[in-house]
Amino acid sequence: MKNIIVDVKMHFPMLCKCVENCDYFSSERTGYLSKERFSSMYSRDYCDFYNEQNLLDESYNNFYLIHHFVDINTPQTRWMDANQLHHLSENGDGMEVKVIKEIYDLIKPRVKGKIIFLCTSDHPRLDLDDDGEYSFVRKYGFEYDTLFKKEYNKNAQYSDKTFPCPFFVMGSPDVLWMLNESQIDNQDRDDRIFWSGFSEGTEYDYQLVKISRNYYINSFNKIFVYNYSGSDRGGLRDNNYLIEMSRYKYAIYLAGWATFTRRFFEIMSTNTLLFYENTGIVFNLDEFLHPLCVFNNLDELKNNYETINSSEELYNECMEVQKNFVRKYYNYQFISEYISSRVGVKNMEGAR
């Protein structure tokens, strides 16, 4: 019996590589890619859940539904924080939730195994009812066995059916595809720190994290700011962006609208050494980056950079730790085992 994946915005096509024997449904109307472009990138086709529902099987084993569930009832306000969302007037749902509910109601009676939600939202919070269940589940009558959250923060609260899943984000192309099928390397590199993205005008607290992008950028002259033509909020960036990044020995990941974004993967896909601002995201993995590549404040960033940049041997050591991190955890087999071992299981450890 096959599994079924419904990926509304085409955020995680490579889940097909991690889930055996599956149908993959999406749509050009809500996703990023035409069927032709999708097929050329991922070497498989998708079924359109608007126009090809006749291709659904009578029954499926597991049902994987990929969506940004945190703002499911107000899709037009996806960049508001949880408190703003909570206080919005509920004068009817957006079209997006109607589509999601229709898909769910159509497929659920066919499911013989488990229902798995994968939350792509840039918000770490998911509103919980008093009994520890998510409000969107109650409101729309969803049932699920396990929810995997990419933006899983140690300072937020989640149901005991929720696990960290730092293997996918919003946007296209799929970041697993970038790491496994489309890496870039460059031997001739500038020793500055590459940065690109939307810069906020002031420091502010957002989604459990203090956003200080301009503070870092303006306070450390080793950070090179690259202005690219893409959107900072998901979607395709032109190839020049990644090629330009690959010309630098270092690149920096700073918290912004989201605390876990494509930039984390883009940096590693160009084999550029990643400086990662500690944002509280839970990876739930036994190993991570080299300790000198993780910083909590400006002084740590400066000291760590100077220490690494003064020693080619140490730079190579940090780079090897990063490459091992990608090889060990961002491969299809590991992710398949990670997900399957947690489906239908209670998370007794919580955020760690």
pLDDT tens, residue order, the chain (352 aa): 999 999 988 889 999 999 999 999 998 877 778 889 889 888 889 999 888 989 999 999 999 999 887 655 444 344 344 433 333 333 334 456 677 888 999 999 999 999 999 998 877 878 888 888 888 888 888 999 999 999 898 888 899 999 999 999 887 788 999 999 889 998 899 999 999 876 654 454 556 667 778 889 989 999 999 876 544 433 345 668 899 999 999 999 998 767 788 899 999 999 999 999 998 899 999 999 999 999 999 999 999 999 999 999 999 999 999 999 999 999 999 999 999 999 988 887 654 3
Total number of domains constituting the chain: 2
Which pLDDT value is given to residue 70? 63
Domain at 213, CATH number: 3.40.50.2000
> Do 275 and 295 form a contact (C-beta atoms < 8 A)?
yes
Across-strand partners of 163? 148
Same-domain pairing of 209 and 297: yes
Same-domain pairing of 250 and 298: yes
> What is the DSSP code (8-state) at residue 325?
H
Q: Is residue 109 in a domain? A: yes
Same-domain pairing of 206 and 233: yes
Which pLDDT value is given to residue 85? 37
Same-domain pairing of 11 and 108: yes
Same-domain pairing of 182 and 135: no
Same-domain pairing of 181 and 312: yes
Same-domain pairing of 208 and 248: yes
C-alpha span between 133 and 143 (Å, rounded): 11
Same-domain pairing of 206 and 293: yes
- The whole domain housing 118 covers 3-167+332-340
Same-domain pairing of 149 and 179: no
Handedness of CA 289, 291, 292, 293 (dihedral sign): positive
Which pLDDT value is given to residue 314? 98
CA distances from 339 to 104, 146, 163, 173, 336 (A): 20, 10, 9, 21, 5
> Do 179 and 269 form a contact (C-beta atoms < 8 A)?
yes
Q: What are the phi and psi torsion angles at 304 (to 5°)?
A: -65, -40
Strands 3-7 and 162-164: unpaired
C-alpha span between 234 and 42 (Å, rounded): 19
Strands 115-119 and 204-206: unpaired
Q: Is residue 267 in a domain? A: yes
Q: Is residue 347 in a domain? A: no
CA distances from 167 to 117, 260, 326 (A): 14, 10, 11
Which pLDDT value is given to residue 77? 42
Same-domain pairing of 124 and 219: no
Same-domain pairing of 19 and 131: yes
Q: Is residue 348 in a domain? A: no
Same-domain pairing of 276 and 185: yes
Residue 199 identity: S
pTM: 0.87
C-alpha span between 30 and 27 (Å, rounded): 6
Q: Is residue 352 in a domain? A: no
Q: Is residue 93 in a domain? A: yes
Q: Is residue 346 in a domain? A: no
Q: Is residue 349 in a domain? A: no
